[in-house]
Amino acid sequence: MATPNVATKWIDRLASALLGATIVLLGACASPSYERYEPAAGQAPAPSESQPLPPPAGQAGTAQAPSAATARTTEEIIVSGRIDRGDGLRRLQMSVAPIFTIQEDAAAAGALFPGMRAGGSTLLSQAQPGEELWVIQTASADTAAEDDEPGSGTMLALVAREPAAPPTEVPLPLRHTDVHAVVTGYISAVDVTQQFENPYDEKIEAVYMFPLPEKAAVNEFVMTIGERKIRGILREKEEAQRIYEDARAQGYRASLLVQHRPNIFEQKVANIEPGKRIDVNIRYFHTLAYEDGWYSFVFPTVVGPRYNPIGSQSPVVALPREDSRQPAAGTAVRYLRPTERSAHDIGISVDVDAGVEIEELTASHEIAARRDGGSRAHVTLAGGNTIPNRDFILRFRVAGETIKSNLLTYTDERAQQGYFTLVVYPPAATTRLRRQPVEMVFVVDTSGSMSGQPIAQARAAIHAALNRLERSDTFQVMNFSSDVHQFASRPLPATAENLERARAYVDGLGGQGGTEMLSGIRAALGFPRDAERTRYVTFLTDGYIGNEAEILGEVQRTIGDARIFSFGVGNSVNRYLLDGLATEGRGTVAYLGLEDSAADVMAYYFERISRPALTDVAIDWNGLAATDVYPARLPDLFPGRPIVVTGKFRGTPGDVGVRGRLGANTVSFDVGAARDSRQPALRSLWARLRIEDLARRQTLTGDPNGALAESIRATALEHSLMSAYTSFVAVDATERTAGEHGTTVNQAVPVPAGVRYDTTVSGERRTIAER
């Protein structure tokens, strides 16, 4: 038996060895860091190559690490490729994440992969036999490719060289989107069904980025396979992701719905077998916008290409269809070239029960409308009008004199909890007062996405506004793209001479460059205020930016007593941002489509600011024990635009009153008795507004302790709603599909109508490479 001294020595040595081994093991387990991949100068990332790469000479099925002298690292997540091992196309199994290296020396790479083309570059892996080899190859631009193989996550097609040729159809998995909405009063229940079909001869995973209205309360998710419908379950986002990845890896059909923005969602469908179809149905509730007698039902169809300033935390990157790279942070939307189109089309039908006489019905698209009595209508999208590249907007006008403020309630008897929605319309007898002098600051987005029709519309709108200024007003014109420019060093009086010069300045505005909107906001709100005039900031933009939170936070902090009136210019604008600017800026929002009359929209805008709003609005609940009321801060009540307030209550709802200030006078009016709507949708709508309010506070405070995030998560789970922290997942556990998990195919979408591809999508690539 060893003496105590010897024993302690051995313990000492053992402890040292254990400590040392632990440190070494920790170092080995550390995640590799990647540098950003940058294409060689002048070389654009080319379509991913589906042609199999031969294995390194002498090592069938494995890869050989290149010499350290020529190796560079990359941070891209690479979709699986193929390795030709001489006996056909194979894909190897994966057990651990490989460490990637990139070989830029074509000659050296050619020695390892004899079939590789000169001028290309290849990612090689240090994976061992039995581990999955992830390969990406960027080939020269004239690479011919098969377009019936999944390849490296994107589909290839022979692209027509002549612009005049008809668009080439690109096979992609999303075949059709069907939208059916039921509008009751001002609440709509919308069913969206996305039909995914695999046109290839291998399994695929389809990934699709799409928009929904920013205040949509998404609470249902069903995956349909043949005749079978599998209802998905809402879970915490990370948990849902784990379940989906698990199911995908094990070969089960599964689908996952993730929210990236309040108005941008991602749908993933795993293991779609060749020739098979999987449908995903999403249901949401939504309230219609109302203005001067017109209700608007909006269904967005495409996410516009976003500009993401350097340093954006969670960008939404616009990439060409064939670019299979994944951004290191945020997410990506792939776009079809103008010479391409997919088979994806859209069908829309809306059943309207307005509750009051519908006097007029209009839409952004050609529609077929069937009236059913005075208050009902059935509307469908007309054939030949089904390319999903602009928002569908259905507007109907109801008899104005019948619109009154109202209080709708719903009681959840199980939870013994009541929910209400209070709609406050401004009183009809609002006298017209002479408009007070204003300091009008026009801020125009002149970025690349505004090039063409949108900037032309914006110019026309500003001209119309300049024509309506009075001599007592002052004005300034600013424009922003990659930086900010302004017409004058300070706001000028609206004299004839100054206006003439300003018109010339506006005529010179074009659209190119990035979208540094934050700079534009700071410039518009940052200079000293005119004590004798209210500053009205008229913001004209398509909203195609990826840092909405930063923009809205800046407005929250610096708005002061100014007002922001946001104008969305284009056919598929970022309504989440534009509505947010109006909300934080205590103004209103208007939408100027490419076919609308800029003069009419501006005339209406000036009409609005000529009639004073009811300010300092407060609600007299008169015994109704209202809690958790949203919005917490009531906005001004503008003529023609109601305020919608939602909250919880207990007890019996009685009469509710509203009061506010109209200039120097105090005005008050009754809302009337509450009406039991028997609509569970009110509960979902309340929860959605609570989530929005919490998210707004997150933007302002940064949420250092994560308490707001936890509140959002808890509210979303309790009410079964999608949010930034919850996702829907559905798995068909009946059987595994054959073969390995499928290649990821990103569903490319058309750029919105009126937006130029070359100034938005390709520009994003340069932004990525320049970082």
Partner 1 sequence: MDPTTEQPEILPAAMISRLRALDRAEPIVDPRTDRAVLEAARAYFDGRPAAARARRSRWAVPLGAAAAVLLAAVLMRPLVFQPLADDVDGSGSVDVLDVLALARMRAAAGDASGVTEARIEELAYRIVALDSARRVP
Partner 2 sequence: MKRAARVWKTVLAVLCAAMVLSTTAQPEASYFTTVDLFVVSGTPVAAWQVELTERRGAMQIVGIERGDDSTFRDPPYYDRVAMTRSSTDRIMLASFSLSDAAQLQSGRVRIARVHVRMTGAAAPDYEARLVAAGTADGRPIDAQLSLETQTER
* Residue ranges in contact with partner 2 by CB under 8 A: 8, 11-12, 15-16, 18-19, 21-23, 25-26, 29, 222-223, 227-236, 239, 243, 246-247, 250, 252, 254, 717-720, 726, 729-736
CA distance to 293, 349, 357, per residue, from 290 (Å):
7, 20, 15
Three-state DSSP state, 439: strand
* Cβ nearer to partner 2, comparing 252 with 410: 252
Question: Are 101 and 124 within 8 A, CB to CB?
Answer: yes
Residue 684's binding partner among partner 2, partner 1, none (Cβ under 5 to 8 angstroms by kind) is none
* Cβ nearer to partner 1, comparing 65 with 717: 717
* Cβ nearer to partner 2, comparing 25 with 40: 25
Whole-number Å distance between alpha carbons of 161 and 571: 28
Residue 417's binding partner among partner 1, partner 2, none (Cβ under 5 to 8 angstroms by kind) is none
Is residue 771 a contact residue for partner 1 (CB under 8 A)? no
Whole-number Å distance between alpha carbons of 171 and 193: 20
Is residue 738 a contact residue for partner 1 (CB under 8 A)? no
* Cβ nearer to partner 1, comparing 563 with 648: 648
Give how far the C-alpha of residue 190 lies from the chain's centroid of Cα atoms, to the nearest Å: 18
Residue 52's binding partner among partner 1, partner 2, none (Cβ under 5 to 8 angstroms by kind) is none
In the complex, what is the shortest distance from the CB of residue 189 to partner 1, in angstroms, rounded to a whole number? 11
Other beta carbons less than 10 A from residue 48's beta carbon: 26
* Cβ nearer to partner 2, comparing 8 with 402: 8
Other beta carbons less than 10 A from residue 749's beta carbon: 26
Is residue 633 a contact residue for partner 1 (CB under 8 A)? no
Q: Which burial class, exposed, middle or buried, applies to 358 when counting CB atoms under 10 A from its CB (0-12, 13-18, 19+)? A: buried
Strand arrangement, sheet containing 656-662: 615-620, 656-662, 665-672
Give how far the C-alpha of residue 140 lies from the chain's centroid of Cα atoms, to the nearest Å: 33
* Cβ nearer to partner 1, comparing 188 with 760: 188
Is residue 679 a contact residue for partner 1 (CB under 8 A)? yes
Torsions phi, psi for 627 (to 5 deg)? -135, 170
Residue 174's binding partner among partner 1, partner 2, none (Cβ under 5 to 8 angstroms by kind) is none
Buried b (16+ CB within 10 A) or exposed e, 640-649: bbbbbbbbbb
Residue 414's binding partner among partner 2, partner 1, none (Cβ under 5 to 8 angstroms by kind) is partner 1
In the complex, what is the shortest distance from the CB of residue 21 to partner 2, in angstroms, rounded to a whole number? 8
Residue 680's binding partner among partner 1, partner 2, none (Cβ under 5 to 8 angstroms by kind) is partner 1
- Binding residues among 390-449 for partner 1 as defined by CB under 8 A: 412-415
Q: What is the sign, positive or negative, of the torsion defined by CA atoms of 103, 105, 111, 114?
A: positive
Other beta carbons less than 10 A from residue 97's beta carbon: 14
Residue 227's binding partner among partner 1, partner 2, none (Cβ under 5 to 8 angstroms by kind) is partner 2
Is residue 680 a contact residue for partner 1 (CB under 8 A)? yes
* Cβ nearer to partner 2, comparing 246 with 500: 246
* Closest among 406, 398, 391, 393 to 376, alpha carbons compared: 398
Question: Are 274 and 742 within 8 A, CB to CB?
Answer: no
- Of 579-587, 627-635, 657-665, 676-684: span binding partner 1 (CB under 8 A): 676-684
In the complex, what is the shortest distance from the CB of residue 215 to partner 1, in angstroms, rounded to a whole number? 21
* Cβ nearer to partner 2, comparing 254 with 455: 254
Q: How many residues belong to the site for partner 1 (CB under 8 A)?
A: 7
Binding site for partner 1 (CB under 8 A): 412-415, 678-680
